[in-house]
Amino acid sequence: MKIRSVVSIPKEEDYPEANEDNFRSREDGIACALSDGASESFDSKAWSIILCENFNSIVKRKKRGKFFHDGTITQFLNQAKNSFNNKYQKKTLSWSQEASFRRGSFATILGVIDHGPALELFSVGDTVAIWQKNGQLKMLSMHVDYDFNKKPILLSTLCNTNNMQLLNLDRDWSIAKIKKKEIQNNEIFLLTDALAKRVIDIAKYDALGKAINIMKQNHGRLKKWIIDERSAGLLKKDDYTIVWIESND
């Protein structure tokens, strides 16, 4: 697969460093991941970066074709949590930071693996993958009729939280295999929640073509569209990220 574009626009234009959406891809093109850190948790930006990096690192080229299973997911989560904890063991935290750290850090994850003739998607939370099949909008089953106003299930640095998540397949997390030949125009898009909700609404109630065109906008045009949509009360204030992937490069 090939990453066509990554556009990420922070909720606060004057503080781009505070953007808690993060995307990472492997140079060999066999894996990528998008994560949205939860603002109310401790250093969720660092946690989202670590989740993306660890997802990509656990994918092995020699194991392409072997899909995710419970053991792989557990290994990925444990590896990410260890990386995060090691990061802060070396730092001196204030008492308030220490208390926040102990309450945990939270983020979504949406990972993509290229298996040659198929793509595999792994998702926890409300970061969404969108593609077309036979002229219709498609997404993971957990995101069909998803309520974006509710608090999503997130991956956490707290072990017991993640153990609970793995029990609720297709409700709180999902894995899907998609044959590339079924992906219309070889295009798949990854979106964080605010943009996903608006694009899905446009596709359902306005026009699918219009929704697809929005997801292909460059930084300047997408930023202008976001400002207009927010002014009209159609888009909530948030970090916004869209990744455009060519599934069969």
Average pLDDT over residues 117-126: 93
Express each pLDDT in 21-45 by its tens digit: 999 999 999 999 999 988 777 778 9
Would you state the pLDDT for residue 165? Answer: 53
Q: What is the DSSP letter of 126?
A: S
In this predicted model, what pLDDT tens digit does every residue of 67-110 receive, in sequence order?
677 678 888 888 898 888 887 776 676 767 766 666 778 999 99
Which pairing describes strands 109-114 and 155-156: parallel, antiparallel, or unpaired? unpaired
In the prediction, which pLDDT does 173 show? 82
**How far, in Å, CA of 179 to CA of 26, rounded?**
21
Average pLDDT of the residues in 115-119: 92
Q: Can you give the pLDDT at residue 170?
A: 64
- Which segments of the chain are extended strands (E)? 2-9, 21-25, 31-36, 106-107, 109-114, 118-124, 128-133, 136-138, 155-156, 173-179, 187-191, 240-246
pLDDT of residue 163: 56
- When the pLDDT of each residue in the chain is averaged and rounded to a whole number, the result is 86
> How confident is the model over 175-182, as a mean pLDDT?
93
| Backbone angles phi and psi of 190, in degrees to 5 | -110, 130
Q: What pTM was estimated for this model as a whole?
A: 0.90
- For 193-229, the pLDDT digits (tens) are 999 999 999 998 879 999 999 999 999 999 999 999 9
Q: Among 26-30, 60-64, 215-219, 238-242, which stretch is predicted with the lowest mean pLDDT?
A: 60-64
